[in-house]
Amino acid sequence: MAICEQTVLEALKQVTDPELFINVVDLGLIYEVQVTPRDEKTDIHVKVTMTSPACPSGPQMVADVKDVLRHLGEEVGDVTVEVVLSPPWTPDRMSDDARDALGIY
């Protein structure tokens, strides 16, 4: 299976915010995905943000993102996760499914 941005995003739907119980993709916490072929591997770099700069779940979510991506297969090379706080996250980034789950209309 070739690793592409869509593959990464689908895998990241397994990672949920432990306080909101919604996946990081639908919450809009994934700002960027880069996949870079290197030899017979594919390196993955993800820019992720948190719902607030002092998010206590941040370290756990970063670890979960790395873990899920490393398990995509043997073709996965380096996995890096960069936490960015700019631009700041806002609820506008959430999917309609996430909004419905949280009762935000």
33 pairs with which residues across the strands? 46
Count of structural domains within the chain: 1
pLDDT in tens, 60-100: 999 999 999 999 999 999 999 999 999 999 999 999 999 99
At 1, the pLDDT band (50, 70, 90 cuts) reads low
Q: Which residue range(s) make up the domain with 43?
A: 5-102
Q: What is the pTM of this model?
A: 0.93
At 104, the pLDDT band (50, 70, 90 cuts) reads confident
Q: For residue 93, give the CATH number of its domain.
A: 3.30.300.130
